[in-house]
Amino acid sequence: MTTPPKKQVWFITGCSSGFGEQFVRQLRALGDDVVATGRNAETRLAHLKDTGATILDLDVTAPQAELDAKFQQAIDIYGTVDVLVNNAGYIQCGAVEELTHEEMQRSFATNFHGPINLTRSALPHFRGKGEKGAGVIIYMGSQAGFYGEPAASAYCASKFALEGAVESLSKELAFLAPGIKPLLIEAGICSTEVMKNINHVPHRVDFWRPLNDACRVRGAGNYGNEPGNAVEVVSKVIQLAKGVGIGEGKDVPLRVPFGSDCLKILKEKIADMNRVLEEWEGVARSVDFEGHSGPMPALPTSGEAKNIS
């Protein structure tokens, strides 16, 4: 007989629509406790009040101290938090030459610094759960964190940065707190409001007008015609976090792709990277000092590290 999944407390950002809203509705249907957050929550999250979720106003670009206080508020309400879902984000579209420094900064503030700062808020609590720590930190990433798209440099750069930071975090946690599991969800284009809400730069440089016009057409064409089912994505991410369904008995990797479009893009890029590595292997090795090729020494294991004085 299958043991029913343990009831959990979830802290979720960006709940006004899309993945965030789906997490709230599906988790409350399962009986889990949920802290649903978003900007201007009183109005933008009003449609979630009947779910029984706790609604908190939260801007992920707020200072660290404010994020810490909000996360602590959730702990004070429920006694704990088991899963943090970093979902809030947006797409800024425009060619590199046209994007301003401020627009790039705003993209990073929401898509990169927000999730990382909230991770800092959560880690002390998760580290305090037993000798190995316990908790799940989910990052709703994108194929854009692995594959650059024209006119999407602000979004792709922020998602690439997030992937690098979280990969490093995963190795830090494996080193000293292996009970805390980070999870990067690399989703393709799914049935959310994201394609409707793309921020397009105004036409600033005539040279790039054809590209910007094409991106507007593409975004509009994708909206309502997305290949990926957001309801299914969220259902399966919940299973991964709970270790049931698709996650039962599995060693879940750091990155999990969702959507045939994402899978195709990832496979094509990996194949191209492998081709380049094979073609340029000799050049790469030609700069090594004689007798000094190969990987650098590894860090000691977590057990060894704790014995280092």
Give the total number of structural domains in the chain: 1
Residue 4 is assigned to a structural domain of this protein: no
Q: Which of 267, 190, 256 is nearest to 227 (CA)?
A: 190
pLDDT at 83 over 50: yes
Q: Residue 90 belongs to a domain with what CATH number? A: 3.40.50.720
> What residue type is 194 in one-letter code?
V
Indicate whether 66 belongs to any domain. Answer: yes
- Say if 2 falls within a structural domain: no
Long-range contacts of 261-268 (CB under 8 A, 24+ apart): 261/143, 261/188, 261/189, 261/227, 261/228, 262/143, 262/186, 262/187, 262/188, 262/228, 263/188, 265/143, 265/146, 265/147, 265/188, 266/143, 266/146, 266/147, 266/186
Residue 12 DSSP label: E
Upper half-sphere CA count for residue 224 (Cβ side, 13 Å)? 3
Is residue 290 assigned to a domain?
A: yes
What's the half-sphere exposure (Cβ side, CA atoms, 13 Å) at 1? Answer: 2
Give the range of the structural domain holding residue 199, as residue numbers without chain letter: 9-306
Say which range, 54-58, 70-74, 272-276, 290-294, has the weakest mean pLDDT. Answer: 290-294
Q: Tell me whether residue 54 is in a domain.
A: yes
User: What sign results for the dihedral spanned by CA atoms 44, 30, 86, 140?
Assistant: negative
pLDDT for 279-292, tens place per residue?
A: 999 999 999 888 87
172-208: pLDDT as tens digits: 999 999 999 999 999 988 777 777 778 899 989 999 9
pLDDT band of residue 309 (cuts 50, 70, 90) is very low
Answer whether residue 1 is part of any domain: no
Mean pLDDT of the chain: 91
Let me know if residue 172 belongs to a domain: yes
Domain assignment present for 126: yes
User: What is the mean pLDDT of the segment spanning 210-221?
Assistant: 88
Give ∠ CA 55-159-61 in degrees, rounded to 5: 40
Q: pTM score, two decimals?
A: 0.92
What residues act catalytically?
155
Q: How far apart are CA 75 and CA 96, in angstroms?
A: 41
